[in-house]
Structure 1
């Protein structure tokens, strides 16, 4: 399937839709997931247009992975998580719901189950606070 430039993440990257921005550079946008599976669930969205990992430019991938690592460390520190789950879905049968490459950084806590993917909308005030705290650690 071809990349659809009207997907929600493409619109956010163009400034056509709002987000709780954590960080942005020439390679990617980092924002809070508005349907968090855990407190601090963060998304890294490469700016290069691709549906997912399967059609991504390897150069774009190599440019964004160090940022994924930095974000994971910052989120772990801010949330005092016991671990970090890194998720990246490729096509609908694998769970992908937005067809623009993105990486999920999801804090994990001992004895606490993760929420379901895209189930409940987060509180905007809490997401804005978390975005600022994670940004300060980057």
Structure 2
């Protein structure tokens, strides 16, 4: 955990979030500014800056993160019509919180691109 990381503080229970799924290693909660009817952020509880750093440091945890994204999509009823899992990486990639997180979005047609 890093003291100044928003998502680490959510994991620690210091900041409230609407949790929709949790495992020993991951946490999923609703985005406070949703871009679709379903917009859930899925994070590893351990701090890693972005998806590339996570994959390099802990491939098993990266797999658990992807599995959690799939579980959230199923739980939210998105598997029939489809959904996206988006990982923004770095400032130019649109990443705003530098703790790796997947956006699980769906519930409506998303078009060719979705601004997260």
Q: TM-score, normalised by structure 2?
A: 0.83
- Structure 1 position 73 matched with structure 2 position 101: no
Structure 1 residues 100 and 111, CA gap change in structure 2 (3 angstroms):
closer
Asked if 1:110 is matched to 2:104, the reply is: no
In the alignment, which residue of structure 2 is the partner of 1:98? 97
Q: Which residue of 1 aligns with 2:9?
A: 11
Q: How many residues align?
A: 113
Separation of aligned partners in 1, 2:39 and 2:80: 11
Q: CA deviation at 1:62?
A: 1.7
User: Following TM superposition, where does structure 1 have runs of at least 4 consecutive aligned residues deviating by more than 2 angstroms?
Assistant: 79-83, 110-117
How far apart are 1:30 and its partner, in Å?
0.8
User: Contact 2:41–2:102 (CA<8 Å) still a contact in 1?
Assistant: yes
Segments of structure 2 that go 5 or more residues without pairing to the other structure are none
* Partners of 1:112 and 1:52 in 2: CA distance: 25
CA distance in 2, matches of 1:97, 1:67: 21
1:86 aligns with 85
- SS of the residue corresponding to residue 104 of structure 1 reads strand
Q: TM-score, normalised by structure 1?
A: 0.71
Q: Deviations over 1:29-49 (max 9, x none)?
A: 110011100111111111121
Considering fraction of residues, name the structure with more helix. Answer: 1
Using the TM superposition, give the Cα deviation of residue 6 of structure 1 relative to its aligned residue in structure 2, in angstroms.
1.4
Residues 55 and 28 of structure 1: is their aligned pair in 2 closer, same or farther, counting only changes over 3 Å?
A: same
Q: Gapped runs of 5+ residues in structure 1? A: 118-138
RMSD: 2.5
Shift of 1:63: 2.1
